[in-house]
Structure 1
Amino acid sequence: MRKLLGMMAALLFGAMGAAQAASDYPSRPVSIMVPYTAGGPSDIAVRILAEELQKVWNQRVLIDNRPGGGTIIGTAAVARAAPDGYTLAFAGGSFVVNAATRTNLPYDTLNDFRGITVFADAPLDIVSARASRRARCPR
């Protein structure tokens, strides 16, 4: 897992672009906003990535957990940050779901953010509560 995350860190650095790499990016600490509580699976994965990025970049990578509001609180904080590449966001499935289901977001999902790389892939299932033992979903 750590080896894979190390490769992802190298890929992330490469994805930042030749122009930024040429200007010695990062020249100061980088923050990664995690819109979930500390200690959860997303937080742990991002902390492992941050550890690897620190090795590649030779610069501190700080984790900023801002849970709440269906991830809108943390995501909005990133949208308000300077667009200089020093505040990154961990955007999960709720990033897309919020854009599709809410009309009053405090940010523009398509214009306020730029994708960098895919960090992790997690399979998700859609399930339904079973009404009774006799009720069956059609197969």
Structure 2
Amino acid sequence: MNVVRALAVAGIVASLVLVAPQTGAFTSATADRSVSASVTDDESAYLGIQQSPVSVAGNRSQEAVLLTVTNRLPRPLDLSVHITEHNPNSGPTVARANGSARLGAGGESTVTAAVTCGNSTGSETATVTLDASGDGVSMTANRSVAVDCV
């Protein structure tokens, strides 16, 4: 009978161990994770931006290329362009560089503006804002472009 009793006690102890709540579990944990992002030059970025020198001679107005934009993503991008001048009363004026375009994968487009020198000489800096968006991606870039009247 002692053997039966010992087996019964062992069975009860084993059942209690299996049914007892786990005490080694946890509900939350914290860990440090590092994140790094590489920044690249405009010439090799997903949205490639190449600035063009702008120079207008004398008392003239001309259409000038400010930037060339290249889509280096494998999907199309919708591009929106806005321009502002820092001080439009002290030199050349830059206008009509606002608009939008759709750039296919690998596509390229130029940002042009009407530059008017009038009777002025000197420089003006125009800020061009590019907003690009596509399937799962969006980016914004601001570029300052110097416009010279010579």
Q: Which has the larger radius of gyration?
A: 2
More strand by share: 2
Q: TM-score, normalised to structure 1's length? A: 0.24
More helix by share: 1
Q: TM-score, normalised to structure 2's length? A: 0.23
